[in-house]
Copies of this chain bind each other. A is one copy, B any other.
Amino acid sequence: MSDHRSGLTVGTTLPGLSRADVDRAELRLAPRILRTPVIRSDQLDAQCGARLWLKAENLQRGGSFKVRGALLAVEELAAAGSRGVVAQSTGNHAIAVALAARAHALPTLIVLPSDAPPAKVGRIREAGARVVFAGTTLAERVAAVEELRELHGYDVVDPYENPHVVAGQGTATAELLEQAAAEGVRLDTVVVPVGGGSALAGACLAASGHGAAVVGAEPEAVPAFTAALGAGEPVTVGVGLTIADGLRPDRIGALPFALAALVAEQVLTISEEAIADGMRAALLVARLLVEPAAATALAGALEYASGPGRGTDIGVLLSGGNVEPALVAAVLADPADLAHRAVAS
């Protein structure tokens, strides 16, 4: 856990990137993404004692905020004459890369864990990409990407280390801060889900100079950021089971860690039960279908808000909504069944 606040002044240079990169990304992306709404819920506010500002990126093109970074990164590669792209992902970065590459007519290879949710696999194939399955760990996927890169001469779109991806993801938080400001509110905190770390890194960039504290939320089962903070560098954590398929990377990226270690206020670890509760709250109270990764951030915000001196206005990045119908039904109908739906990190 870090006690830093993101009180950096405007223009502070963060590792390789700055808030200005997010501003540029926002201008370039504006015509091609949806400015998703920020949702308020009187009932959720009453439940946690703060005002929550839910950035509904589950309503984004491709069903998650990841289209932001992928569009920016793929555009750079296309402009540089790329022959094709290859990417590994737990699902949402893959959908985003496939959609972005289709817009530039670039051939696309996607490496997924063998147990990726069918809904995500289907959307990737609909976007015209070829899917390759490789084990269940990040290391297995990264090795497969390297092989395919050499074989085809394609360019890799890394989901965590690519600075265009990180700057692009930061635009989601930048919009959230702006949308709250348009209602006369300066957010005290933004809570974002942590998997490989691109959402967190983007939020750290977006919040620099703003003064909002950045808080990460990751599954208790895959505490990759918590472990990295303890070790002082990214480390691979043991395999854990989680329904948050989007947060299963067992190691935080080096670029995200460098940014987050400097800026993030703290990281919360969220139990599987709380993640499921977050999905139910999003669905039945806020009436938004979110995937477990987004529910992890909501659960984190509900927990954070109940602590002392936590400020009154808390932004939450609802990162995506690509979720299996059967998982939604299980969350609604039979919590006991959820354990069977967890995937290995």
**A interface residues (Cβ-Cβ under 8 A, vs B):** 34, 37, 39-40, 42, 56, 58-59, 61, 63, 280, 283-284, 286-290, 321, 325-326, 328-329, 332-333
Contacts and interface: CB of A to CB of B under 8 A. Distances in A.
Contact of A333 (B39, B56, B326): B326
A215 to B, nearest CB: 24
Contacts of A59: 39, 286-288
25 contacts: A34-B40, A37-B37, A37-B39, A39-B59, A42-B61, A58-B287, A59-B286, A59-B287, A63-B287, A283-B289, A283-B328, A284-B289, A284-B325, A287-B288, A287-B321, A288-B289, A325-B332, A325-B333, A326-B332, A328-B328, A328-B329, A328-B332, A329-B329, A329-B333, A333-B333
A119 to B, nearest CB: 8
Contacts of A37: 37, 39, 56
Given A37-B56, A288-B289, A332-B332, 19 more contacts: A34-B40, A42-B61, A58-B287, A59-B287, A59-B288, A63-B287, A280-B325, A283-B289, A283-B328, A284-B325, A287-B289, A287-B290, A287-B321, A325-B332, A328-B329, A328-B332, A329-B332, A329-B333, A333-B333
Contacts of A332: 325-326, 328-329, 332
A329 B328 CA distance: 7
A228 to B, nearest CB: 31
Nearest to A40: B34
Contacts of A288: 59, 287-289
Contacts of A287: 58-59, 63, 288-290, 321
A272 to B, nearest CB: 19
A69 to B, nearest CB: 19
Nearest to A62: B42
A185 to B, nearest CB: 15
A291 to B, nearest CB: 9
Contacts of A321: 287
Contacts of A326: 332-333
A232 to B, nearest CB: 39
A165 B286 CA distance: 25
A232 B328 CA distance: 45
Nearest to A38: B37
Contacts of A42: 61
A81 to B, nearest CB: 28
A231 to B, nearest CB: 37
Q: Of A42, A286, A288, which is in contact with the most chain B CB atoms at under 10 Å from its CB?
A: A288
A295 to B, nearest CB: 13
